[in-house]
Amino acid sequence: MKARWLAILVSSLALAASIFAVGCPNAAPESLSSTFLLKTFTVDRIYRSMEGPGRKKTVRLLDAEDPELLWITGFEAVMVGADGHTPRSQQYMCHSNWNLVPGQAGQDAFFDDRLIHGRMFTLSQGQTRISLPAGFGIPMLSTSRYHLYAQVLNLHQKSGSEQVRHKVTVSYKRDRELPQPYEALSVIGLVVMVSLDGPAVFGRSDPSELEKAATCLPGEKATPGNAGHVDRHGQEFTGHFRVPPGRHVYRTLVSDRMRLKYDTTIHYIAVHLHPFAESMWLRDLTTDEIVYTANAVNFEESTGLEHVDFYSSEKGIPVFKDHQYELGVIYDNTSAEDQDAMAVFNLYTHDKEFDAAAFAPILEASKSATAR
């Protein structure tokens, strides 16, 4: 009797599943994903930001030779042990970057305006995952190659050794399987900087009174050998700087770096900060309104970031091409020595210019390159 009722139950569930599948032909397909493991590092000393061992790996999402349109929807980066599975402290994460490899057939001109320096994602301490809002993604070719670059950080383990590696997962969907088109996102990278030439406004030799509110403070490079940023007026800045003991506020004019060709909306903000960060914001100087503020939570018993806020919304935050914008950060260095710092907002904004017709030549160029 039990066997009979079990058979009926199984049959009923199968029937219900088939009815549901037929009745919901437009159900969104599940996300696909590709996971990559980088080499194992032995951590047996202190590694400050940008000074630990790193690894670059060139990868593809699919092995298929026939190019098609994909929508990248998420990025996850976690620290694991040498076995590739056992979780390790996220405090070993300096960063994990996902960049489009330059020089691929037909892609450069199309993506130059959509990806800042070819970068799609960066994850660091305080955030392990980026998941773009439903219905949004970054359009990419299935045949594209990417640079996955990751680096180790260690400010908390004073003795002993630990084996760690980066485990990275990229989520995406096939355009041909979508019941309705996705909305495209462009990536804008904004960086807080200090001036190496005395107080200065980035991108301005004769700033207005409004722009002077975002004057970069004088500062020092965190590592003497790192390349600075020289603006169009020959003024030199750095985005990787040293923070003296105490609480400090840094501001930078980022209007030019936003490169807005039209009014649009921000649908995701990923935040990159270093330990001792307190908060970071994007301000509309024209309206004197805060666009978004991200707060950071530092570990109480050791040096590192436990949590960093992020923004995600299908509705989005409006930004305007003719407005002036300031990026700012507060660092509260409670130690007795200088600490290195960075402050980055990666804005994922609605790309109003993207459509399938615009992407078609990219697909054709990729097909021709593959055929050769």
Encode 194-235 in three state secondary structure: EECCCCEECCECCCCHHHHCCCECECCECCCCCCCEECCCCC
Contacts of 86 (CB under 8 A, 6+ apart): 80
pLDDT of residue 143: 85
User: DSSP per residue over 264-303, as a string?
Assistant: EEEEEEEEEE-TTEEEEEEEETTTTEEEEEEEEEE-SSSS
pLDDT of residue 104: 75
pLDDT of residue 31: 81
Distance, CA of 370 to CA of 372 (rounded, Å): 5
Burial class of 128 by CB neighbour count within 10 A (0 to 12, 13 to 18, 19+): middle
Distance, CA of 173 to CA of 367 (rounded, Å): 20
Helix (H) or strand (E) holding 306: strand 305-308
pLDDT of residue 66: 77
Burial class of 356 by CB neighbour count within 10 A (0 to 12, 13 to 18, 19+): exposed
Q: Look at phi and psi of residue 288 and say left if phi exceeds 0, alpha if psi is from -120 to 50, else beta.
A: left
Give the pair of three-digit tokens for residue 45: 């000393």
pLDDT of residue 371: 57
Residue-by-residue pLDDT tens, the chain, 372 positions? 444 444 433 344 443 443 333 334 455 677 899 999 999 999 999 888 888 899 999 999 988 677 888 999 999 999 999 999 999 999 999 999 999 988 776 666 667 667 766 789 999 999 999 999 999 999 988 888 999 999 999 988 888 899 999 999 999 999 999 999 999 999 999 999 999 989 999 999 999 999 999 999 999 999 877 778 999 999 999 999 999 999 999 999 999 999 899 999 999 999 999 999 999 999 999 999 999 999 999 999 889 999 999 999 999 999 999 999 999 999 999 999 999 999 999 999 999 988 877 677 777 766 666 555
pLDDT of residue 94: 92
Contacts of 32 (CB under 8 A, 6+ apart): 171, 172, 173, 174
Q: Which residues pair with 230 in a beta bridge?
A: 236
CB 217 within 8 A of CB 285: no
Q: Does the model's pTM come out above 0.95?
A: no
Coil/strand/helix, residue 186: strand
Q: Which residues pair with 189 in a beta bridge?
A: 346
